[in-house]
Amino acid sequence: MKKLLSIFFVSMFVFVGCAQKTSTTPTDTSEKQPEVSQKSAGSNVVMIADFSFAPKTITVNSGDTVVWRHWDVAAHDVVSPGLFKSPILERGKVFSFKFEKAGTYEYYCGIHPSMRGVVVVK
């Protein structure tokens, strides 16, 4: 019995010693957030990330379209009372609105009302 047990343990050590090593170094699998930019391919972009709008204030010309790009982990929407209300946006989705008249338009996230921004239309 001792001989059988010894052969078993020696076999296990050989098997474990020959096993392929795997890396224990963690790898970064998180997505990189895109760079925040007001102008992107001719449109005015507001990023939704880290429970905020960036930039908080954006200035556009009358007739311009503003695009809100959602890049946060939580769902958000974009609301400007009497003007527009987006659907609830999940990560990777966009909402756009064309501003026809000059003025200052405040907006917020209906889910997280402390998230606020302003569109100034010249």
Report the chain's C-alpha Rg in angstroms: 27
- Largest Cα–Cα distance of the chain, in whole Å? 92
Distance of CA 81 to the CA centre of its chain: 25
Enter the tokens of residue 73: 């982990």
CA distance 24 to 107: 46
pLDDT of res. 89: 97
pLDDT of res. 7: 54
User: Which 3 state secondary structure label does DSSP give 7?
Assistant: helix
pLDDT of res. 87: 98
pLDDT of res. 38: 39
pLDDT of res. 2: 57
Q: Going residue by residue through the chain, which has 122 residues, state the pLDDT in tens, using 9 for 90 and above.
A: 555 445 544 454 444 454 444 444 444 434 333 333 334 445 799 999 999 999 999 999 999 999 999 999 999 999 999 999 999 999 999 999 999 999 999 999 999 999 999 999 99
**Domain 39-121, classified CATH 3.40.50.2300, yes or no:** no
Any idea where the domains of the chain sit in the sequence?
Answer: 39-121
CA distance 7 to 29: 43
